[in-house]
Structure 1
Amino acid sequence: MCPHEPSCPSADGPGREAARTVVAHPEQGWSLLCNGVVLFEDTGELLPDGAVIEPHRPLAGVS
């Protein structure tokens, strides 16, 4: 469980990327969030249940 007040968003919610970083490895391109999500530099995610969220970075120059 998240020890922060207010609690971090859950891993299964749409705001999951707003959880606090508990471990950062920018040299390797990933961070572990308080809710158990591994967030990758390319905006891809690995959820605690093993589900993969494909990168969702906005494309440059596309409007």
Structure 2
Amino acid sequence: MCQHQIKCPTAEATDRDAAVALHPEQGWSLLCNGVVLFEGTGELLPDGQIIAPHRPRPTAMVTA
């Protein structure tokens, strides 16, 4: 799928989100490896597998 030199990570790779994105202004991106990456960090892989959103948890603010 990817025509870039150096090739983007495959949809199965752990760094798949590093692939070149198309349409990020619409709240989702179609990566050149076939992954649909949603703004909320959820993903839809080309084989139909769903990756749940995985935002980092906010850290608690400690006040004195």
Normalised by the length of structure 2, the TM-score is: 0.86
Cα distance, 1:25 vs structure 2:
4.5
The alignment of Structure 1 onto Structure 2 pairs a total of residues equal to: 60
C-alpha separation between the residues in 1 aligned to 2:24 and 2:19?
A: 16
Q: Which has the higher helix share?
A: 2
Q: Which of the pair has more CA radius of gyration?
A: 2
- Out of 34, 56, 63, the position equivalent to 2:32 is 34
Q: State the Cα distance separating 1:26 from its structure 2 match.
A: 2.6
Consecutive unaligned residues in structure 1, runs of 5 or more: none
State TM-score, norm by structure 1: 0.87
Structure 2 residue identity aligned to 1:26: E
Compute the RMSD of aligned alpha carbons.
1.2
Give the counterpart of 1:57 among 31, 55, 60. 55
Structure 1 consecutive aligned stretches of length 4 or more whose deviation exceeds 3 Å: none
Q: Which runs of 5+ in 2 are unaligned?
A: none
Q: Identity over the aligned pairs, expressed in percent?
A: 58
- Which has more strand, going by share of residues? 1
